[in-house]
Amino acid sequence: MSEPYGKAFSLMRAEAEPAWRAYTHHAFVEGLKAGTLPREAFLHYLQQDYVFLIHFSRAWALAVVKSETHSEMLAAVGTVNALVAEEMQLHIGICEAAGISQEALFATRERAENLAYTRFVLEAGYSGDLLDLLAALAPCVMGYGEIGKRLTAEATSTLYGDWIDTYGGDDYQAACKAVGTLLDDALERRLGAEFTSSPRWSRLCQTFHTATELEVGFWQMGLTP
């Protein structure tokens, strides 16, 4: 189980330390785990994350555009559906219960940290191929998978249980595995089985690393409503 989300992901993740740990063990995450995160910060984060998911869904739709095989298209379109039909429902539901309407959510003013991250991902896709795009998308998908799984095992409070269950649950974990397989297969198809020897590999790792740092910035933004 050392490579639960595929081979390429685990290699890119190792290259991105210590930023990866700063992302997956951020104070915001530890606050979700212990139930000590202020509700105000959580709701502020969720509103920003709703806007994030709009652009993230657009980036996955771009992955459909950049696909070269039917199976790549299927994997990308499955992720678009999981985001729009499932993950965004969590945000809508929790915010509605807190008195924040869907219209208010959609009209949320985007914070600079949020804008920087999503446009970085989209730009990786606009100017590159599917590999550049997936390298920028992977930290978001798999990081939350790792966080959800760990918090499912370690949480000492049920306050943020809905959030933890969404990312630690079977559906989200299966989505992470599917993206891991998509990344491995897309790399092999374009760069060959020895894809780490390709001159493109270090650049892809750099994109992954930058996206990881932008995730750290997103949590930090969450702490400052």
Ligand X SMILES: Cc1ncc(CO)c(N)n1
Residues at the interface with ligand X (CB under 6 A): 49, 52-53, 87, 140, 144, 215, 218
CB of 175 to ligand X, least distance (A): 9
Compute the least distance from the CB of residue 194 to ligand X, in Å: 30
Q: Which is nearer to ligand X, 32 or 53 (CB)?
A: 53
The least distance separating ligand X from the CB of residue 191, rounded to whole angstroms, comes to: 26
In the complex, least distance from residue 112 CB atom to ligand X, rounded to whole angstroms: 14
Q: For 66-129, where are the alpha helices, taking DSSP H only?
A: 70-81, 88-97, 102-106, 112-127
- Is the Cβ of residue 45 or residue 201 nearer to ligand X in the bound state? 45
- If you ran DSSP here, which 8-state letter would residue 191 be given? H
Please tell me the distance from the alpha carbon of residue 62 to that of residue 57, in angstroms, as a whole number. Answer: 9
Q: Which of 63, 59, 82, 71 is nearest to 171 (CA)?
A: 82
**Using CA of residue 197, residue 199, residue 204, residue 209, what is the dihedral sign?**
positive
How many other β-carbons are positioned within 10 Å of the β-carbon of residue 158? Answer: 10
- The amino acid that residue 129 corresponds to is D
Give CA–CA dist 137/217, Å, rounded: 16
Which residue, 72 or 215, is less far from ligand X as judged by CB? 215
Q: Kindly state the smallest distance separating residue 74's Cβ from ligand X, in Å.
A: 19
Q: Which is nearer to ligand X, 198 or 225 (CB)?
A: 225
What residue number has its CB nearest to ligand X? 140
Contacts of 91 (CB under 8 A, 6+ apart): 46, 47, 49, 50, 53, 105
Which residue number, 128 or 222, has a Cβ lying nearer to ligand X?
222
- For ligand X, the closer of residues 137 and 186 by Cβ is 137
The DSSP-derived string for 122-173 is: HHHHHHS-HHHHHHHHHHHHHHHHHHHHHHHHH-S-STTHHHHHHHHSHHHH
Provide, rounded to whole angstroms, the least separation between the CB of residue 44 and ligand X.
13
